[in-house]
């Protein structure tokens, strides 16, 4: 008769595996934080220079404030021509954006809120690319390329266009 193998659950190798998993998880977290900081800095540079090149001097500083810099994206995507109307529309969409983020933590409704948030951001990326290019087809292509490349296309194209004035309203 075969003898059953005895396992000791207080074996030290279990803790080595757990420590290796924790170290790997921590390394991935640190790498993600580094990429997030780099992305934040690059987008702030693009937003700030784009704002200065297109007459948004009084709100260009918002490009450097974390979480509030999304206001710049909505200001660039505004269809209004006066600065007060642009500020009003950007504030409206910024509040909608943060409201959708808060609602996204509620089960089931949060899923719908996340979809609405993605649609909102895709639209405003489209508006920004449209204002840079003046062509609808290119703008749609550039939004798709931005999402396929996880934002790298936005950074590359943004650095090319950030010091130029908008082509379209």
- In degrees, to the nearest 5, what angle opens at C-alpha 75 toward C-alphas 44 and 166? 85
pLDDT of residue 22: 92
Is the residue at 2 inside a domain? no
Would you say residue 72 lies in a domain?
yes
- What is the model's pLDDT at position 4? 63
78 within a domain of the structure (yes/no): yes
Look at residue 5 and tell me if it is in a domain: no
Residue in 110, 57, 68 with CA at minimum distance from that of residue 93: 68
pLDDT the model gives residue 81? 83
- On whether the CB atoms of residues 132 and 157 are closer than 8 A, the answer is yes
Degrees, nearest 5: CA angle 49-30-113: 65
State the pLDDT at residue 110: 93
Q: Look at residue 12 in the predicted model and tell me its pLDDT.
A: 64
User: Is 77 within the bounds of a domain?
Assistant: yes
Residue 108 in any domain: the answer is yes
Q: Which of these, 88, 45, 97, 22, lies nearest to 67 by C-alpha position?
A: 97
Contact, 44 vs 154, CB < 8 A?
Answer: no
For the chain, what is the mean pLDDT?
91
Supply angle C-alpha 40, 31, 65, rounded to 5.
20
Q: How many domains does the chain have?
A: 1
Assess contact for 41 and 62: CB atoms under 8 A. Answer: no
- The range of the structural domain enclosing residue 110 comes to 12-161
Q: Is the confidence at residue 2, as pLDDT, over 90?
A: no
Question: pLDDT tens, 75-105?
Answer: 999 988 888 999 999 999 999 999 999 999 9
**Is residue 1 assigned to a domain?**
no
Evaluate if residue 9 carries a pLDDT over 70.
no
Question: Which residue, among 92, 103, 148, has the nearest Cα to 125 in the 3D structure?
Answer: 148
Instruction: Quote the DSSP letter at residue 67.
Output: T
Residue 14 is predicted with a pLDDT of: 64
What is this structure's pTM?
0.83
Is 71 a member of any domain? yes
**Has residue 43 got a pLDDT over 70?**
yes
């Amino acid at each position: 008769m075969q003898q059953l193998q005895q396992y000791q659950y207080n074996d030290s190798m279990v803790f080595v595996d757990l420590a290796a998993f924790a170290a790997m998880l921590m390394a991935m977290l640190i790498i993600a934080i580094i990429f997030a900081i780099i992305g934040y800095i690059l987008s702030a540079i693009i937003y700030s220079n784009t704002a200065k090149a297109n007459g948004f001097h009084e709100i260009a500083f918002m490009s450097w404030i974390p979480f509030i810099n999304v206001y710049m994206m909505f200001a660039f995507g505004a269809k209004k021509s006066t600065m007060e109307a642009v500020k009003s529309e950007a504030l409206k969409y910024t509040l909608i954006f943060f409201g959708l983020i808060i609602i996204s933590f509620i089960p089931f409704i949060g899923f719908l809120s996340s979809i609405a948030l993605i649609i909102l951001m895709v639209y405003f990326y489209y508006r920004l690319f449209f204002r840079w290019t003046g062509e609808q087809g290119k703008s749609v292509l550039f939004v798709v390329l931005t999402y396929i490349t996880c934002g790298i296309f936005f950074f590359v194209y943004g650095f090319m266009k950030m010091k130029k004035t908008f082509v379209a309203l």
